[in-house]
Structure 1
Amino acid sequence: MSTGQKVFIVGPGFIGWNVLDILIEHGYTVTGLVRRDEHAEGIKKSGATAVMGSLDDKELITKQTVEHDIVFHTATADHVPSAVAILDGIKQRASKGLSTIYIHTSGTSVLNDNAQGGQKSDKVYHDEKREEIDSVPDSAPHREIDLTIVKAQKEIGEKAKIAIMIPPLIYGFNPKHKRLTIQIPTLTRFAMKHGFAPYVGTGAPVESNIHVVDLARAYVVLLHDMEHTSPASLLENPYYFCECTGDNEPSWHEIATVIGSGLHQAGIIKDPEPRTVPKDLYGDVFGEYTDAVIGLNSRSRANRLRALGWEPIEKDWKKSYIEDELPEIIKEDCGSFSGYKGSVAS
């Protein structure tokens, strides 16, 4: 079996659009599934073809998968039907003797230790040790869909190459796309509305992080390796972390401190000191998921990607926030902001 150069991206948004740009530069023919006409025009300008639809358009996603050699799912880590639609397309291709490369996006919230803003954890997960990842509960965030993919991977066997990218807290801003990530901008909008930068509990827990452009490069490095590696190695271990921090993960208290300082220096809030967010204001952060999103320990090491030659080269999270994200966020009117309502990638 041979794999061609036609790529289908489900959800070429904050993550996937950056992946799309690199793939176009590398000579791939790319099609992206998008919901809005404005977004369709954007990825067309980047050199891709747009297909209009949603994650619930199962037949469309399956059809597009059948027609493409390589598939990325970068829309969300929690929409099982769209992933199943991709897997159905991969099975149809396999029945015709066609191999497929599929890279799905999960997130390191799967490592959530339920710290709820308590203490920093010493537990670090390494992606070359599959048993560490498999030790997390089946009920962990994102785990249901990861296990669905792993089960299908076993059924399909060596007729496809399937990997699961597990990014941590994502930051960064690409001025060409004008898109912001989720967690840190949400905390900033809360601070602009309420006058203080929030954290959960003591703010001591830590999470690894990655710049979105470094993450996009990692997807393509992984793709190139998958194009030449045996499916057997991926059957043995499909998981890849992607982080830039090593042992220097910031605590949520430190993140809130940088947010408070940045907004204070910009003249947006009077008091730069961060505070514990009271539960009655969780609705203006991440609602019932606030403890899980910004109160967790999630420490990961991207040893497998580094072994492939990938290294992070973009700005660290502090410099990126102050120089790139914050100037964009303070342009917004956050008086009516009422928290983030979608699913969180990491």
Structure 2
Amino acid sequence: MSADLPPTIFFLGATGYLGSEFLALLAHEYPQLPVVALVRSPTPARVAALQAIHPAVRVVEGTLADDDVIQREAQVADIVINAASSDHWPSVRSTLSGLEKNSAASPGRKPLYIHVSGTGILGDNARGERVDYVREYSDIGLDLRNCPPTNTHLECDIPIVEAGTRTENPIRTIIVFPSQIYGIGQGMQKTTLWLRIFLDLAIQVGYSGTWGPGHNSMNNIHVKDVASALLHVLRAALQGTADEGTEGLYFASSLEPKVPYHDWTKIMGDYLFAKGIVKQGDTQPMPPRIVDPLGHYGWSLLGSNQFSKSDRLLRVGWAPVYSAKESLVESLPGMIEAALEDRSSAIVTPVP
């Protein structure tokens, strides 16, 4: 970073649920930082909506599959923030390649990469069954290679940590691992992906359901608190006080009561049944035609327990204040309604 110019940010996922929530904080806390956002199909309406959140953002057209675009922008940015996808290895590879070239071109000035992953790395493969013991992981002392090796996110996360520990063309790396994100977003996307997936499946099969009996659970976290977590690690990184590389792993989880999948899918099922959207209320295991195509990936992510503690984030002064004000269960009906509204607005009525 130049001593005379503010650091520049290349942002993947700026139009998403978490990304646009964080972008609003970025505009408020660091309006002087130039932001370049990768946007798929940047129509005038989408660009206007993005700039309503952050007036100074500049849009570059592209998708996560556009290797040349991502590499080009990563080569010239001081900071890359990826809140787009935890599991899109090609875009992570493009980002790391661009940042490596960035580092090689400016010896002594290491670019920063902040990546949003998830606590799916901790999945215990309980397959929705009751278990006697679930390990609770701290992010202090966490070694990704000690996580179950077939778990989701690790394909991307381990190379990121490796890039943050090498001595040749080094990169500063931080990974944030949110637990189950909930709440209605204030940005461009109002609802979280897992809610939309389970809603779509419920409408498809006629009832709300789980992977296995649904006794598995995980910590939860309000989207505003995850956006705040990203801001805290960015601030610490700008000040040079953040843990990075092998130590740059941050769980973003509240200690509010965990809600088993069975319990919250029952709330969803009863809500949808009362509205006449599904054929029956309550919840039951999803049929093989739904769960089988996702195989181990689905069981690891949606049928496992994931218990985490945000010890490292607490060190930088973060606290999950919104999660304490509104729980997952309290937020769920409003989230379902917002997702239904988005779903209906996306349906195109045929011309007679």
The reply to whether TM is greater than 0.5 is yes
Query: Counterpart in 2 of 1:30?
Result: 35
Runs of 4+ with >4 A deviation = 156-159
Alignment of 1:252-331 (within 5 A): 252-269=261-278, 271-282=280-291, 287-288=294-295, 289-314=297-322, 315-323=326-334, 325-331=335-341
Query: Counterpart in 2 of 1:62?
Result: 71
Distance 1:178 1:75, change over 3 A: closer
The letter for the 1-side match of 2:140 is E
CA deviations on 1:294-315 (whole Å, 9 max, x unpaired) are 2111111111112211112223
Q: How many angstroms apart in 2 are the aligned matches of 1:144 and 1:186?
A: 22
Q: Which runs of 5+ in 1 are unaligned?
A: 337-346
- Does residue 6 (structure 1) correspond to residue 8 (structure 2)? The answer is yes
Q: Could you tell me whether the CA contact under 8 Å between 2:20 and 2:189 is conserved in 1?
A: no
The letter for the 2-side match of 1:7 is I
Shift of 1:241: 0.6
Q: Could you tell me whether the CA contact under 8 Å between 1:124 and 1:301 is conserved in 2?
A: yes
Query: Counterpart in 2 of 1:52?
Result: 61
Query: Counterpart in 2 of 1:245?
Result: 255
Of residues 104, 108, 115, the one that matches 1:104 is: 115
SS in 2 for 1:76: coil
Q: Could you tell me whether the CA contact under 8 Å between 2:25 and 2:231 is conserved in 1?
A: yes
Q: Could you tell me whether the CA contact under 8 Å between 1:43 and 1:49 is conserved in 2?
A: no
Q: Could you tell me whether the CA contact under 8 Å between 1:44 and 1:50 is conserved in 2?
A: no
The letter for the 2-side match of 1:163 is I
Shift of 1:159: 4.9
Query: Counterpart in 2 of 1:117?
Result: 128
Please identify, of 251-260 and 270-279, the stretch whose mean Cα deviation from structure 2 is larger: 270-279
Q: How many angstroms apart in 2 are the aligned matches of 1:160 and 1:33?
A: 21
RMSD: 2.6
Q: Could you tell me whether the CA contact under 8 Å between 1:9 and 1:31 is conserved in 2?
A: yes
Q: Could you tell me whether the CA contact under 8 Å between 2:266 and 2:282 is conserved in 1?
A: yes
TM-score (normalised: structure 1): 0.86
Q: Which runs of 5+ in 2 are unaligned?
A: 348-352
The letter for the 1-side match of 2:338 is E
Q: Could you tell me whether the CA contact under 8 Å between 1:20 and 1:30 is conserved in 2?
A: no
Query: Counterpart in 2 of 1:129?
Result: 141
The letter for the 2-side match of 1:245 is L
Q: Could you tell me whether the CA contact under 8 Å between 1:2 and 1:99 is conserved in 2?
A: no
Query: Counterpart in 2 of 1:221?
Result: 232
Distance 1:160 1:148, change over 3 A: closer
- Does residue 75 (structure 1) correspond to residue 75 (structure 2)? The answer is no
Shift of 1:251: 0.7
The letter for the 2-side match of 1:44 is Q
Q: How many angstroms apart in 1 are the aligned matches of 2:166 and 2:17?
A: 32
CA deviations on 1:146-177 (whole Å, 9 max, x unpaired) are 11112211224795421011112222222442
SS in 1 for 2:175: strand
Distance 1:53 1:270, change over 3 A: closer
Q: How many angstroms apart in 2 are the aligned matches of 1:227 and 1:313?
A: 23
Distance 1:308 1:175, change over 3 A: closer
Please identify, of 106-115 and 186-195, the stretch whose mean Cα deviation from structure 2 is larger: 186-195
TM-score (normalised: structure 2): 0.84
Shift of 1:79: 2.0
Q: Could you tell me whether the CA contact under 8 Å between 1:167 and 1:210 is conserved in 2?
A: yes
